[in-house]
Amino acid sequence: MFNVIITGIASMLTDISSEMVYPLIPLYLAALGAPPAILGVIEGFAESTASLLKVFSGRFSDKLRRRKPVAIVGYAGSTIGKVLLYVSQGWGLVFAGRMVDRLGKGIRTAPRDALIADSVPEGRRGKAFGLHRAMDSLGAAAGVAIAMWLVSRLGRSIVPHDYQRIFLFSLIPAVLGVAALLFIRERKRDGKVRELPRLSWKALPAKLKWFLFVITLFALGNSSNQFLLLRAKNVGMSILAVLAAYLLYNTVYSILSYPFGHLSDRIGRKHLLVAGYALYGLVYIGFALTHKPALVWLLFALYGVYSALNEGLEKALVADVAPPEQCGTFVGLHSTLTGIGLLPASLLAGALWSLLGPSAPFWFGGCLGLAAAVGLAIVL
């Protein structure tokens, strides 16, 4: 479990950095005068384009027979992205900063997850991925808490320069996260680049094929979490209250990820995943219906339960059915298919918000979440 803990520390530090920045981006863009549709463009392109890299970086690490160097390059991208946010004066450089940050995530995710899968036996993968997600989301909670403290210290109306100062502080944990990866102990292998079987849809295990099909359709309604933050602001919450609600989400996510992962090793992944998607649908419908800040707190907490039920368990399920020599490829394929839908999903969410009102994207996402729960109950 040593590598699991080290990758968890690296992810925790990187998420401290990222979550000091992430919940402030929609507010920063609003301060710069950008409309919600621009947020959809930025988040959609950044997340979806980065997802295209995940299958290729995973396959590259399978061929190279090394995970660590590829992961380090990816984590370094997060640091460079924060630099671009710090020097931004308009939404163009915000777009560039988010793209570089997410491209780094696209490079690192599959090799890191394959490294975790390589480091533990199959019967403990749920626990391993749950522990990693717990440390990751603990870092996210800490990052939001630090952002809240910095915002409260300003004690006045926040202007774009204030956001940039926070972006600068976020560089410190980002650099430490890259440094932590140097301590990973990767198994020594021969230096030969491995030839892998050609990846094709027909060659995938039937269970994995249907699973990927359902969650790819679901991804069309799974827009960026920043729309949740924008919705919280839309119903009348202050900047500090929005950050506090997001902190609650990350705290719940962190606390429950490990026990849910452990539970999935004992009872299987199916029932927990189905419950997670059903909960997602109900939470999004709740965001569509609510006009009261008090209910937003409950919805963010329940959204944390959904994330704990799904994030690590999906990766553990894919690792279970993947051939060991192609673990990075299969994990990367999963991340690519779930992430690629973020472009149309976020563009659609921004358009629905602008054309039909703030509730529209959440009705759409909620219905797809409930449909995904039914689909997984059938195919798994």
Q: Which of 16-20, 91-95, 111-115, 151-155 has the lowest mean pLDDT?
A: 151-155
Judge whether 196 lies within some domain. no
| Domain-embedded: residue 192 | no
pLDDT value of position 367: 94
Flag whether 117 is in a domain: yes
Which pLDDT does position 198 carry in this prediction? Answer: 64
Q: Residue 190 falls within a domain, yes or no?
A: no
Domain residues for the domain of 33 are 2-185+202-379
331 within a domain of the structure (yes/no): yes
Residue 363 covered by a domain: yes
CA–CA distance, 196 with 133 (Å, rounded to integer): 29
pTM of this prediction?
0.72
Q: What's the CA gap between 268 and 200, in Å, rounded? A: 27
Each residue of 347-377: pLDDT tens digit?
Answer: 888 889 888 999 999 999 999 999 999 998 9
Least confident of 13-17, 57-61, 245-249, 258-262: 57-61
In a domain, 194, yes or no: no
- Between 327 and 144, the more confident residue is 144
The structural domain count of the chain equals 1
User: Per residue in 85-97, is it b (16+ CB within 10 Å) or e — as a string?
Assistant: bbebeebeebbbb
Which range, 65-74, 184-193, 228-237, 281-290, has the best average confidence (pLDDT)? 281-290
- Structure token digits, residue 108: 């690192």
pLDDT in tens, 170-221: 999 999 999 999 998 877 665 555 556 666 667 677 777 888 888 888 888 8
**pLDDT tops 80 at residue 37:** no
For residues 115 and 72, give the distance between their C-alpha atoms in angstroms, rounded to a whole number.
12
CA distance 302 to 217: 22
> Is residue 330's pLDDT more than 90?
no
For residue 169, what is the domain's CATH number? 1.20.1250.20
Q: Which residues contact 179 (CB under 8 A, 6 or more apart)?
A: none
How many CB atoms are closer than 10 A to CB 21? 26
What pLDDT was estimated at residue 150? 84
Q: pLDDT tens across 293-305, in order? A: 889 999 999 999 9
Mean pLDDT of the chain: 84
State residue 149's pLDDT score.
87
Domain-embedded: residue 195: no
